[in-house]
Amino acid sequence: MADFDFTISATKDDNKGNYSTYSKSSEVEYEAKIEFSYPLTGNVSNDVYLRKYRLKGRQLELKYKDKFDAILSDAQKLTTELKQGLKQLALYKQQIDENRAGKTETEFDAFLAGNSNIRFVIIENDDNQSLLLDQVEASINYHKNRIKYDSLMDRLLLNAE
């Protein structure tokens, strides 16, 4: 922005001299000054504010990108955990099916025939129940991860729009 200054001044000097010279002088000075300045780059304060808000805008963009990348990373991690959870559930199902078809019934029949101890029947049933509990626990973890994943996908879709 242009700057314009106009100054007028006047000074009067009355010199009465001293006792040895007995000189006397009187001077009057007048001064008028016009000063005009214009920065070649435009308004400096506007440039400062413009740079400041561009910097803030860039900082917000970087913060948004970091947040978006964090959500995306969490989604990828959950995708991996969901795949592993499905494999784990399939493995538990296979183990449970094998147990139902085999050992528990065999141990119980052997006990009824008098060829085995009740302790082996109880151990087999305990192993079977532990396997079922582990399957339930894996299923709970899978569904928790699925809920987290769906929530992240909703947030990503909202950010993409």
- 107: closest CA among 119, 98, 97? 119
pLDDT digits (tens, 9 = 90+) for 28-86: 888 888 888 776 666 667 778 888 899 999 999 999 999 889 888 998 999 999 999 99
Q: How many CA atoms lie within 13 A of 65 on its CB side?
A: 6
Q: Average pLDDT, whole number, for the chain? A: 84
Q: Are 28 and 10 in contact (CB under 8 A)?
A: yes
Alpha-carbon distance of 49 to 37, in angstroms, equals 21
Domain assignment present for residue 144? The answer is yes
What percent of the chain is modeled with pLDDT above 90?
Answer: 32
Domain assignment present for residue 117? The answer is yes
Q: Are 77 and 69 in contact (CB under 8 A)?
A: no
Domain assignment present for residue 150? The answer is yes
| Residue 144 lies in domain | 64-160
Domain assignment present for residue 58? The answer is no
Would the pLDDT of 138 be above 90?
Answer: yes
pLDDT at 17: 63
- In the chain, the number of structural domains is 1
Alpha-carbon distance of 144 to 65, in angstroms, equals 27
Domain assignment present for residue 126? The answer is yes
Alpha-carbon distance of 114 to 109, in angstroms, equals 9
Domain assignment present for residue 49? The answer is no
Using a cut of 0.75, tell me whether the model's pTM lies above it. Answer: no
Domain assignment present for residue 75? The answer is yes
Domain assignment present for residue 23? The answer is no
Would you say how long the chain is, in residues? 161
Would the pLDDT of 161 be above 60?
Answer: no
